[in-house]
Amino acid sequence: MRKYLLFTLLLVLVAGCSKNNDSDPGNQENPGNPEITLNVSAAPIEFPAEGGSRDVTVTTNATSWNVESNQAWCRVTKETGKFIVSASANESTASPAPATVTVTASGTTKSVSIVVKQAAAVIPSEPYIKASVDTIYMRENGGTTGIDILTNQKEWGVNSDQTWCVVTKEVTELGEGITINSSLIL
């Protein structure tokens, strides 16, 4: 009888101390919902001055995801299971500010960021000068506009062959440029 009582007591203790975590949803951290995963196939991306594009694969078990860039020169296009990072040619002698491309997924605060850089344009060693635009149109009542100039020359000048159009050489945020002031055309 003593063995039977000891066996029963042992059985009650074992049954009372063991819990099945699968049957007790209150004891789970995230019941019924798997942890959201978010991975991308790219590390930092560096484009040459000529620009280009690069596919980046997104792997996630979230129902949806999003991607965005914090710089206008660095464009992102979302497609199924991936996105494309692209940059146009950089004609400036300075590299643009690095872009951060951020991927987020629904159902989580996790995000993945990729730094994107682009090289500066290489100026030829022979004399070179180029305006940021080839043609401008002024209103008939006059106005002012600016044009950036890309050059490897220390000395250069600008003039106009029309009295209604006054041009001056200026120093801009990006380097050198010209300001065009036009007066009322009669």
100 with 155, same domain: the answer is no
Q: Is residue 124 part of a domain?
A: no
- For residues 70 and 98, the answer to whether their CB atoms sit within 8 Å is no
Over pLDDT 70: what percentage of the chain?
Answer: 79
d(CA 160, CA 179): 12
Structural domain of 178: 129-182
162 with 107, same domain: the answer is no
41 with 97, same domain: the answer is yes
Q: Is residue 27 part of a domain?
A: no
* Buried b or exposed e, range 41-70, using 16+ CB within 10 angstroms: ebeebebebeeeebebebebeeeebebebe
In the predicted model, what is the mean pLDDT of the chain?
81
Domain final position from 64, 96, 118: 118
Q: How confident is the model at residue 173 (pLDDT cuts 50, 70, 90)?
A: low
Q: Select the more confidently predicted residue: 29 or 48.
A: 48
Q: Is residue 167 part of a domain?
A: yes
Mean pLDDT in residue range 56-83 = 96
d(CA 147, CA 135): 10
pLDDT tens by residue, 16-40:
544 444 443 433 344 556 899 999 9
d(CA 97, CA 73): 9
Kindly calculate the radius of gyration of the chain based on its CA atoms and give it in whole angstroms. 32
pLDDT tens by residue, 78-119:
999 999 999 999 988 789 999 999 999 999 999 999 999 999
- Structural domains counted in the chain: 2
Domain final position from 69, 87, 118: 118
Predicted confidence (pLDDT) at residue 15 exceeds the cutoff of 70: no
105 with 177, same domain: the answer is no
- For position 24, what pLDDT does the model report? 38
* Cα distances (angstroms) measured from residue 80 to each of 66, 141, 163: 11, 51, 58
Q: Select the more confidently predicted residue: 158 or 7.
A: 158
Tell if the pTM clears 0.85, that is, is over it.
no
CATH classification at residue 74: 2.60.40.10
pLDDT tens by residue, 116-130:
999 998 777 788 788
174 with 106, same domain: the answer is no
- For position 4, what pLDDT does the model report? 52
72 with 40, same domain: the answer is yes
Q: Is residue 30 part of a domain?
A: no
Q: How confident is the model at residue 134 (pLDDT cuts 50, 70, 90)?
A: confident
Q: In what order do the strands lie in the sheet with 74-79?
A: 38-40, 52-60, 82-87, 74-79
Over pLDDT 90: what percentage of the chain?
Answer: 42
Predicted confidence (pLDDT) at residue 77 exceeds the cutoff of 60: yes
